[in-house]
Structure 1
Amino acid sequence: MKLRKLLVCMLAASTLMAGAVEAKTYKIGAAVYGLKGQFMQAWVKSIKEHPAVKDGTVQITVFDGNYDANTQNNQIETMITQHYDAIIFVPIDTKASVGAVRHAMAEDIPVVASNTKVASDKVVYVGNDDVEGGRLQAAALAKQIGGKGNVVIIQGPIGQSAQIDREKGELEVLAKNPGIKIIEKKTANWDRAQALSLTEDWLNAHPKQIAGIVSQNDDMALGALQALKSHGVSPKDVPITSIDGMPDAIKAAQAGEITTFLQDAQAQSQGALDVTLAKLIGDSYKPRSVIWQRYGNQVKWADGKAASYILPWVPVTPQNADALYKQVTGG
């Protein structure tokens, strides 16, 4: 009888232990470069809506890097000290945080980059090909201005992979159009107000001389659009091309005021979380975000083991604007 009771107790204990393993909550940090812009706000909103976060499998903590590489490095060190299970990283600078990332990985804390890249081939990247994005927006602008005229480029934060790669694609295409001349190029740090001020300065410095504007993200494009309007300049006369596909920009594109290309914030953040969970749980993990069905023909899951997951750019057109607006707003 005593042996039977002992066996029952052991069985009950093992069942409880198995349940505890299955019910493990993973503490994951999402270190993003900054939260002022629409895109990163959408990225954060989407990761919090991942099924694994909603059902408690993942406890996600978002760290606002405030557009500063040193701040992000300190946040990564904090996550190491506090024994986070994994880090999803959206770096402000592609090189500045390599050391902190190396330290995390040395402590067996997986790091997955999303939206922007870390300068390390050991960090999986989930996001878009920004060189191709730059090509797309530059080609659109060149077509709209007939391959000739003066253009200006509003850059993202200098040193961030998105700024570097988008500009590489932009310059590659513009160089093939000898009738196009770049007369100004300066950062507005993904910020709408800074882009408004910058564009106003350029319009004053080059009255009636700017044929088109390349903006490396939507918030800055919308600032440039506001500057054009305040100067009585029609965006049909000075076209603006951009990247992100955020709600305000989709509406502006629908009105014919800018040209933009969607990068899917939900796919970037939720895809990165699925890849992170595959690293933590192993081969048994199956991706839970809807984005793998959305891009199933273009982005293969590969059991969460691919070196990178490159998402497609989606041109925003009058035909798909309403559907994309609903997708990015959840409405």
Structure 2
Amino acid sequence: MNRPNRTPRRLCLLLALLLGILPGCRSAAPSRGADGIRVGVALYQQNDTFIATIVSSLEAAAREREADEGLKITLNITDGRGSQATQNEQIDRFLSTGYDVICVNLVDRTAAAVIVDKAKSAGIPLIFFNREPVREDIMRWDKVYYVGAEAGKSGVMQGELVAEAYRADPEALDRSGDGVLQYVMLEGEPGHQDSLLRTEYSIKAVTSANVTTEKLANDTANWNRGQAASRMSQWIDQFGGRIEVVFANNDDMALGALDACRAAGVEPLPFVVGIDATPPACESLRAGELRGSVYNDSPGQAKAILDLSVALATGRSPSEAVNFREEKYVWLPYHKVTPETLDEVVPPAE
């Protein structure tokens, strides 16, 4: 007796299962990320102090999430070392190997459009953080998001720190007694939106408080402590004790200015303010050398990046994981920090 040929039937059943059209097939299929998720994290430069705090907070948040939920989270963190070409290669590898989500701290914000288009073609969600692309690039695809803080507000708060200190004790800042605050400005990299906005809004906040200022000098130091120390040394040689206030677009540059002052034996120190409230800056605040900073919530940014990544990788609604503004942006607040308010504002380092 000949047995019926079941091969065509088996092939049909297999095809139906693969296409997910059999009753109950879709409900039985595991959701994306059920066996763990892979998140690629591309940094502009890992030795940037603030970026390093985000990375350590992100790793800590991932370990906590794994322990709480039993979900394996693999973070692959790459360092672009300040080269957009290098970062592009790293992102291409994430795309080609099928990562669930890619998080990008851009070297050059003008490169965002190309990265978005590649991610869209691969169907891999994209989260930019800390370095904000232009809005048009964020809107190129519905699976592109941004996590960060609004740079202009940090500049306003930095200026308010100076204005408040001046109102409280004018003679402590205006050592020449001429009714004018002579200042120098250490800026981040040229053209970076944080540099431009922090520079502009910090001085606007001071003058809006009816404090008269005079700019002695400004120059870029690319967020770098060593470069800032070099610039400040030149200004000390040029202006000496005329420098009453030092504005720095971030804490590393503020600390570089203090390094130069100590090396030159400057006494008393000028009124130096930074932005980010990084751990080294907090130590300087406690020592009474750095006079103010603006807390940039790196643990909060890291948590938002991770929560959004997990939601996107596992097919959950992103809006249930984070608080969006305009459906695309997660903004973390800034807070002013002085030596007196440090312990109230900045959480202790883990």
Structure 1 unmatched runs, 5+:
1-9, 289-299
Q: Distance in 2 between matches of 1:41 and 1:276?
A: 19
- TM-score between both structures, scaled by the size of structure 2: 0.77
Counterpart in 2 of 1:268?
301
Counterpart in 1 of 2:79?
64
In structure 2, the CA distance between the partners of 1:164 and 1:73, relative to structure 1 (3 Å rule), is farther
Paired residue type of 2:323: W
Query: How do 1:1-331 residues align onto structure 2 when only pairs under 5 Å count?
Result: 23-50=34-61, 51-52=64-65, 55-119=70-134, 120-122=137-139, 123-143=144-164, 144=166, 145=173, 148-173=180-205, 176=208, 179-234=212-267, 237-258=269-290, 259-283=292-316, 301=323, 306-322=327-343, 327-330=347-350
In structure 2, the CA distance between the partners of 1:167 and 1:92, relative to structure 1 (3 Å rule), is farther
How big is each residue's C-alpha offset from its partner over 1:186-234, in whole Å with a ceiling of 9 and x where there is no partner?
Answer: 2222211111111111111222221211111111111111111222224
Q: Distance in 1 between matches of 2:117 and 2:33?
A: 30
In structure 2, the CA distance between the partners of 1:133 and 1:85, relative to structure 1 (3 Å rule), is same
Counterpart in 2 of 1:3?
none
The question of whether the paired residues in 2 share the 8 Å contact of 1:43 and 1:268 is answered with yes
Structure 2 unmatched runs, 5+:
1-16, 18-24, 167-172
- TM-score between both structures, scaled by the size of structure 1: 0.81
Q: Distance in 2 between matches of 1:328 and 1:26?
A: 30
C-alpha displacement of 1:43: 0.8
C-alpha displacement of 1:27: 1.4
Q: Distance in 1 between matches of 2:227 and 2:286?
A: 24
Report which of the two structures shows the higher radius of gyration computed on alpha carbons: 2
Q: Distance in 1 between matches of 2:271 and 2:221?
A: 18
In structure 2, the CA distance between the partners of 1:201 and 1:319, relative to structure 1 (3 Å rule), is closer
C-alpha displacement of 1:322: 3.4
Number of residue equivalences: 305
In structure 2, the CA distance between the partners of 1:167 and 1:318, relative to structure 1 (3 Å rule), is closer
Paired residue type of 1:215: A
The question of whether the paired residues in 2 share the 8 Å contact of 1:94 and 1:159 is answered with no
SS in 1 for 2:81: coil
Counterpart in 2 of 1:4?
none
SS in 2 for 1:109: coil
The question of whether the paired residues in 1 share the 8 Å contact of 2:269 and 2:289 is answered with no
SS in 1 for 2:115: helix
Runs of 4+ in 1 over 6 A off after TM superposition: 285-288
Q: Distance in 2 between matches of 1:20 and 1:214?
A: 50
Paired residue type of 1:306: E
RMSD, matched Cα: 3.0
In structure 2, the CA distance between the partners of 1:323 and 1:136, relative to structure 1 (3 Å rule), is closer
The question of whether the paired residues in 2 share the 8 Å contact of 1:31 and 1:88 is answered with yes
